[in-house]
Chains A and B, each alone.
Chain A
Amino acid sequence: MEPLLTGLLLLADPFNILLIFIGVLVGVTVGALPGLSSPMAVALLLPFTISLEPVPAIAMLAALYCAGTFGGSITAILINAPGAPPAVATAFDGYPMAKRGEAGRALGLAAVCSVLGGIFSLIVFLLATPLLAQVALQFRPPEYFALTVFALSMLASISGRSSLRNLIAGAFGVLLGTVGIHLTTGVERFTFGTYELTEGINFIPVLIGLFAIGELLNQSQTLSVAYERITSVVIRLPSWEDFKRVRATILRSSGIGTFIGILPAEGATVAAIMGYNEAKRWSKNKEEFGKGAIEGIAGPEAANNAATGGAMVPTLALGIPGSGTTAIILAALIMHGFRPGPYLMRETPEFIYAIFGAMLIANFMFLGIGLAGAKLFSRITLIPRTLLWPSVFVFSMIGAYSFSSSVFDVWVMLVAGFVGFLMARHGFGAAPLVMGLILGKLVEESLSQSMIMFDNNWLRFFESPIVVGFFAITVLSLGWPLLGPLIRRLRARAV
């Protein structure tokens, strides 16, 4: 109880509250702008946090993460252009509601459901993180290796449509992580005589490049796209009737979202789509879906925001990111000198509780900001793209540079951006690459330590039931895209 109170007290400083507010404001703004995403915003905000203390720095990023997920629903409802991928499912019913003059009702519902989903997941976060960290403390290098392999296998479904391409991108990210001096032997690997690469590739410029520059090049192809706008918006909180109708959906979706968020590498987008599908499956008014059903907003909104709290659980307890954005938050933790994982919970539990507190405050803040300023946020899409994206480039450039005051890092960012643009075009996700890059060192370290422990005997991995369990679910998760349809076909034939 004491660490919890200490953690919450750490946030009591007005400066920290101001930073959380800034995080929420930036999050809702970025979330509302089509093309700008939470991972991009968190990556761009990272350099600002260099000179901050760890608690306010991570609190601001966590607040941005929560608010960014909600922000996407504003433009999804008002202009049918989800500002962020997790809001895609919200547009299915949100926009039809807005078109029939119920934009305010839809926005109010989205805000309240998001907050309830967020709070639900934060309660789980509060309870599950110490427990998971306690379990993880028993892990030795082989168990950690198996866990990271499982996390990397989950990359297959993180984003994009192709599991295979995500796996390749993830493995490529891990390979990038091997650049620099080998820890055990001190041998230089893939440095090609470049001094700047001896300490490895800085992941901050890579993150900024992949998420910001890749998208900038993508936006250069769609300069003429215009959005149809719903103008008259009077936001109102859901009525008691509405709330009664969606309360079961909120609860169900919050559970789904939290669970999906906890799974390594799964994120808010998957949670939102599952939340929508389940809302439809359980609804008595299935025919209303796609035409403006309020459950169609409650389902994805509660789920996508619940995923944010859920995703923080493996990130902080295991050091395995629960989503693309938490991968960047993990990078921020490393940047601020923390070692994410069970030791974080054991040594500085108040820090974890401070993050919990920041996310809780952020949820209430974005409810207020969302309700009061939705009309304003819908107008930010009026910012000309011809000025918005040059600004993003300026922030990216200076963000990549400021990490170690090196122009080389700006080049790394640019190359990562070009590669990211081409990768996205061919169906490779940026998020798996980032997660691979961040997890790369952990995978190699745990594999090397295991091999040393086992005298180079691979079979000894199977002596641990935890390792066997992780390997089994890894094989299942990788094989499911092929096994699933096969089982369904066999069942259909049997029937």
Chain B
Amino acid sequence: MNEQRESSPQRTRGQRPARFSRLPTINLTDLWLCLLIVAVCVALYVVTRDFEQVADMFAQDVPPEFFPRLLLWTIGVLALLLPFEHIHLRRRDEDIDEHRSVSIKPISFVTAALLALVVASMPWLGTWVTMTLVCVLLPLLWGERRWIVLVPYAIVFPGLVVLLFSGVLKVYLEPGSLW
């Protein structure tokens, strides 16, 4: 501690180190996050107003909206602290923006879209075909071009999974409305 003080002679009591003095009071990303969370809380709070009303005696003084509202208030209040939290974290040498400063790569969005598409097609294609589709499309999307590996994998792996779940564990698998 003393060594630190000696190494920065210009710093007097009450002054913040340079890295703190440049720090904005509000973290913009967290401000947006805070607004989003508060908006969700408000929207859900409005939903709680539409909960069916029951007599006080029946609800035993604890109506159905009581607990969700308590939680929404808690989340809302905690969310209001988010834009300022980076100051506290910086004091511990932690940077909340470290991971999110790099934007999400397009491959992640495409992957998410592919997964959603695959799940959407499950009722039509059935579980087995959907799994095979995943085992072909996802590796291809992620750059796998070794067909000698990909083809056996896409055939054998879903087959084994179906055998395990349907044959051994007796789970009913969606056959698909197309077939």
Q: Is B179 an interface residue (CB 8 A)?
A: no
Please indicate the chain A residues that have their CB under 8 angstroms from the CB of B119 in the complex. Answer: 397, 407, 410-411, 414
A485: nearest chain-B partner, CB-CB: B91
Distance (whole angstroms) from the CB of A76 to the closest CB of chain B: 21
**B169 interface neighbour in A51, A162, A220, A397, Cβ under 8 Å:** A51
A189 in contact with B78 (CB, 8 Å): no
B96 in contact with A217 (CB, 8 Å): no
> Which of A5-13, A109-117, A272-280, A451-459 forms contacts with chain B?
A451-459
Q: Which residues of A158-207 are within 8 A (CB) of B?
A: 161-162, 164-165, 167-168, 171-172, 174-175, 178, 182, 184-185, 187-190
Q: Mark B42-70, 1 if CB is under 8 A from A, else 0.
A: 00100110011010001111111101100
Q: Are A185 and B59 also in contact (CB < 8 A) when A393-B134, A402-B165, A414-B115 are?
A: yes
B123 in contact with A407 (CB, 8 Å): yes
Interface of B is mostly: helix
Q: Is A243 an interface residue (CB 8 A)?
A: no
Q: Is B116 an interface residue (CB 8 A)?
A: yes
**B153 interface neighbour in A387, A407, A427, A482, Cβ under 8 Å:** A387
Give the number of residues in A that approach B within 8 Å (Cβ atoms): 65
A386 in contact with B144 (CB, 8 Å): yes
Please indicate the chain B residues that have their CB under 8 angstroms from the CB of A384 in the complex. Answer: 144, 149
Q: Is B88 an interface residue (CB 8 A)?
A: yes
Q: Are A164 and B107 also in contact (CB < 8 A) when A389-B138, A398-B165 are?
A: no
| Number of residue pairs A-B, CB distance < 8 angstroms | 177
Q: Is A464 an interface residue (CB 8 A)?
A: no
Q: Is A289 an interface residue (CB 8 A)?
A: no
B149 in contact with A387 (CB, 8 Å): yes
Q: Mark A35-55, 1 if CB is under 8 A from B, else 0.
A: 000000000000110110000
Please indicate the chain B residues that have their CB under 8 angstroms from the CB of A391 in the complex. Answer: 135, 157
Please indicate the chain B residues that have their CB under 8 angstroms from the CB of A164 in the complex. Answer: 78, 81-82, 85
Give the number of residues in B that approach A within 8 Å (Cβ atoms): 71
B62 in contact with A390 (CB, 8 Å): no
B131 in contact with A398 (CB, 8 Å): yes
Please indicate the chain B residues that have their CB under 8 angstroms from the CB of A51 in the complex. Answer: 169-170
Distance (whole angstroms) from the CB of A463 to the closest CB of chain B: 18
Q: Is B72 an interface residue (CB 8 A)?
A: yes
Alpha-carbon distance A67/B56, docked complex (angstroms): 52
B100 in contact with A452 (CB, 8 Å): no
Alpha-carbon distance A175/B44, docked complex (angstroms): 10
A189 in contact with B157 (CB, 8 Å): no
Q: Are A390 and B139 also in contact (CB < 8 A) when A217-B111, A425-B99 are?
A: yes
**B68 interface neighbour in A188, A190, A221, Cβ under 8 Å:** A190
Alpha-carbon distance A452/B66, docked complex (angstroms): 13
A162 in contact with B105 (CB, 8 Å): no
Q: Is B37 an interface residue (CB 8 A)?
A: yes
Q: Is A232 an interface residue (CB 8 A)?
A: no
**A397 interface neighbour in B47, B48, B71, B131, Cβ under 8 Å:** B131
A167 in contact with B78 (CB, 8 Å): yes
**B138 interface neighbour in A175, A185, A390, Cβ under 8 Å:** A390
Q: Is A447 an interface residue (CB 8 A)?
A: yes
A481: nearest chain-B partner, CB-CB: B88
**A394 interface neighbour in B112, B135, B142, B150, Cβ under 8 Å:** B135
A492 in contact with B78 (CB, 8 Å): no
A426 in contact with B111 (CB, 8 Å): no
Please indicate the chain A residues that have their CB under 8 angstroms from the CB of B139 in the complex. Answer: 386-387, 390
Q: Mark A321-345, 1 if CB is under 8 A from B, else 0.
A: 0000000000000000000000000
B123 in contact with A451 (CB, 8 Å): no
Alpha-carbon distance A426/B139, docked complex (angstroms): 27
A436: nearest chain-B partner, CB-CB: B71
The CB with the most chain A CB atoms within 10 A, among B1, B64, B123, B134, is that of B64
A220 in contact with B111 (CB, 8 Å): yes
Q: Is A395 an interface residue (CB 8 A)?
A: yes
Q: Mark A397-441, 1 if CB is under 8 A from B, else 0.
A: 110011001010011001001100100111100000000000000
Alpha-carbon distance A421/B99, docked complex (angstroms): 12
Please indicate the chain A residues that have their CB under 8 angstroms from the CB of B68 in the complex. Answer: 175, 178, 189-190
A414: nearest chain-B partner, CB-CB: B119
A444: nearest chain-B partner, CB-CB: B67
Q: Is A216 an interface residue (CB 8 A)?
A: yes
The CB with the most chain A CB atoms within 10 A, among B48, B68, B122, is that of B68
Please indicate the chain B residues that have their CB under 8 angstroms from the CB of A456 in the complex. Answer: 61-62
Distance (whole angstroms) from the CB of A282 to the closest CB of chain B: 22
Q: Is A213 an interface residue (CB 8 A)?
A: yes
The CB with the most chain B CB atoms within 10 A, among A51, A393, A456, A492, is that of A393
Distance (whole angstroms) from the CB of B121 to the closest CB of chain A: 10
Distance (whole angstroms) from the CB of B69 to the closest CB of chain A: 10
Q: Is A223 an interface residue (CB 8 A)?
A: yes
Alpha-carbon distance A425/B104, docked complex (angstroms): 9
Q: Are A426 and B100 also in contact (CB < 8 A) when A397-B119, A398-B165 are?
A: yes
The CB with the most chain B CB atoms within 10 A, among A174, A221, A390, is that of A390
| CB-defined A-B contacts under 8 Å, sample of 15 | A48-B169, A162-B85, A182-B64, A187-B64, A190-B44, A387-B149, A398-B165, A401-B127, A414-B115, A426-B33, A444-B67, A451-B61, A452-B62, A456-B61, A492-B1
Q: Nearest 4 pairs between A and B by C-beta?
A: A386-B144, A182-B64, A390-B138, A187-B64
- Beyond A161-B96, A407-B174: 13 further Cβ-contacts under 8 Å? A51-B170, A162-B85, A171-B78, A223-B143, A390-B138, A393-B134, A398-B127, A401-B171, A402-B165, A405-B171, A411-B119, A426-B29, A448-B60
